[in-house]
Structure 1
Amino acid sequence: MEKNIAEIRQDYVRHSLRKKDVDENPIKQFQKWLTEALTAEVREATAMNMATVSEQGVPSSRILLLKDVNEQGFVFYTNYQSNKARQLEHNPATALTFFWPELERQVRIQGVVKKVSKEESEEYFRSRPKNSQIGAWASPQSSVISNRDILEERERKLQEKFRGQDILPKPEQWGGYIVEPFLLEFWQGRASRLHDRILYTLEDKAWKINRLAP
């Protein structure tokens, strides 16, 4: 590499985060930060890294898109036959990370997943563009395939099958999860690497707030 990556540095000076200024409810604090990220036109502000663990204890992670956040937690949708879904079936504990570099912010979440209702999954599925609905039907997610032609042929056949239909039925193997959090950490970049870190932990059904050293 021509550039020495060990020498790449950036000082963070845009914002600060004080314990006395955060909301008592971490979900509301997250919604506030997400709104600010959307207002600032952060690229893919709803993108989140999600970590799961296999039956052998091997971690894996991938980027997903948040589709809802409410008092119960964080909602996303996927194929229930995918690797991550199988891992969540074995171990429903998960970790999410949001990173908004334009605001020099990160949010880290730990929680337990549950499937959302079939009705909720169907409602969201109907809201997707038709091509995305076709994609959910066409892809045997996480399965080994010999080439891309297989996907394109499946897509072609499904486009023909559902010609004239704007809304498709939801595949049985596709639906949503909600991550019910028990820990959230809000990280605000600061100068000299003395970052602000505010930690929420759920104890006896109440949120406890602490500041962490960077």
Structure 2
Amino acid sequence: MKLYGYWRSSAAYRVRIALNLKQLTFENLPVHLVKNGGEQHSPDYKTLNPAELVPVLVDDDLSLNQSLAIIEYLDETYPQPVLLPEEPAARAKVRALALDIACDMHPLNNLRILQYLTGPLALSEQQKLDWISHWLNTGFNALEQRLKQSAGQFCFGDEVTLADLCLVPQVYNAQRFALDMSAFPTVMAVHHNCQQLAAFALAAPEQQPDAQLS
């Protein structure tokens, strides 16, 4: 398998965790999202993913974008350890937590959104940081309340699920932008428990080869 990604990409980070949890060997192919105007905009990469986003997973003849779709593919193809519960209601709740993060929180602090704010919209750096802080706080406030109802050691009970693979990269983003996380003790307790696992630690942005090239 080949994973096209970027060391700081939250979406690629999620997939790296899944691949590590399932102990799958993969080739990490960096796509630098900033250098040379962004390598994701190159003709070759646009052929691979017309959306010009990372990650993309290539597995034999399959080329798949969208991190949650990739993770569900991996979970169905390599079922141990299971990342989505078998029981339909539990499965739906885990998906909902993952989507809260991946669809409602992450896009608002994604690189291309931030570049648009300070580029065509001509917002100042401080206005950009205010935007990030507002939407991260909004998202984490809601997530904290949900996790108070669902969390054990992890987002949903005491087993790692798809939701945890989304939570850890989002906390990384928040800490990168110096968000005060003290108001979210449940979020941070789950984050701490995840970080004790090798699969999460090895997937961390600073552990990626392309981090040294940035």
**TM-score normalised per structure 2:** 0.21
The structure that is strand-richer by fraction is: 1
Where is the helix percentage greater, Structure 1 or Structure 2?
A: 2
TM-score, structure 1 normalization: 0.21
